[in-house]
Amino acid sequence: MEGTSTGFPREAVATRLLAASVRTSYDPTVDIDWTAPPRPDAYWLPPQRSSLYGTALWEGLSEAQRIELTKHEVASAASAGLWFETILMQMLIRHYYDADPTSRHAQYALTEVADECRHSIMFGRLIEATGCPVYRADRVDHALGRWLKATATGPQMYAAILIAEEILDAFQREIMADESLQPLIRMVSRIHVVEEARHVRFARDELARQVESAGPVTLGYARLVIGRAAYSITRRLVHPQAYAAVGIAPEVGRAAARANPHWQATLRWSAQRIADHLTELGLVAGPGRLLWRRAGLIEG
């Protein structure tokens, strides 16, 4: 990893991000009131973002069950979030292993790992506070995650980071602005949005550099891995077991969600910014593009 002298754009970006990290960082263990009881009448997600919103199954649920479903959907997304953060931390540490520890770039990579450590603790406490189970990745995705965190470098590493961060970010920006929702999930979202804005800037900047220097074979392989990452992240957002919490058989709930035009629109909405960005960089193409379509993140 090059870029040790200040004045290079890479160092300038990292210097700015390090200063912003000093100005605005949170410690969720003390900055969140974990003892406050949840409001019984408040949703955990805007109801129209529930995977079953607008379906016959949704119509059959009471208001209390709908709130309960959004709580489990949030716990599922938090489980996916911390699973992915664990992968990401290891990828960044591997990146750091080859880096110049005196560079601001390397120091920012470590600062991001520190942020993610606090986020994963925050998501763990969020899951605990909801009383929901940890919704773990299935065996295939768990194995793919292990492979990604042990091997990914270059464009696919930063692209995978961005997909996970930007999809969650879309949901969280909406949640933090919606005063009708549970105070706990709004505060968790606010902390995550503020700190992730820096991660997104860092990864976008690094990705552009990696794409510029990559050859056609590397890029072809990257497109496939990126498509598979997009597919896994999307499929993992709502764990089918979440439906069982409101008396819906997991497979029935999952099939209804996949066929639900509201949910399809929500997925495309959540991925629009990152899909556009990666498309501009030429990273959503070839066979990898099929995976984006199968994940429901893009049309056509």
Interface positions with Fe ion (CB under 5 A): 116, 119, 165, 196, 199
Minimum CB distance to Fe ion, residue 164 (Å): 8
Minimum separation from the CB atom of position 17 to Fe ion (A) = 12
How far is 2 from 105, CA to CA, in rounded Å? 9
Q: DSSP E strands: which ranges in 203-251? A: none
Q: Are 117 and 89 in contact (CB under 8 A)?
A: yes
Least Å from the CB of residue 26 to Fe ion: 11
Q: Please give the Cα distance from 122 to 135 (Å, whole number).
A: 16
- Return the sign of the alpha-carbon dihedral for residues 65, 66, 70, 71: negative
Nearer to Fe ion, 141 or 196 (CB): 196
Minimum CB separation of residue 198 from Fe ion in Å reads 8
Looking at the Cβ atoms of 172 and 266, the one nearer to Fe ion is 172
Output the DSSP codes for 274-298.
Answer: HHHHHHHTT-S-THHHHHHHHTTSS
What the block records as the tokens of 14 is 């990292």
Closest CB to Fe ion among 161 and 267? 161
Residue 266: both structure tokens together? 């929500």
DSSP 88-150: HHHHHHHHHHTS-TTSHHHHHHHHHHHHHHHHHHHHHHHHHHHTPPP----HHHHHHHHHHHH
Task: Give the residue with the Cβ less far from Fe ion, 124 or 220.
Answer: 124
Spacing of C-alpha 109 from chain mean position: 18
Least separation in angstroms between CB 196 and Fe ion: 5
Q: Select 116 or 166, whichever has its Cβ closest to Fe ion.
A: 116
Place of tokens 């706990």: 184
The contacts of residue 65 (CB under 8 Å, 6+ apart) are: 246, 247
The smaller minimum CB distance to Fe ion, of residues 26 and 263, is found at 26
Task: Quote the least distance from Cβ 300 to Fe ion, whole Å.
Answer: 30
Which residue's CB is nearer to Fe ion, number 172 or number 182? 172
The least distance separating Fe ion from the CB of residue 85, rounded to whole angstroms, comes to 5
> From CA 241, how far away is CA 254, in angstroms rounded?
9
Q: Which residue(s) pair with 6 in the sheet? A: 8
Tokens of 162: 């961005």
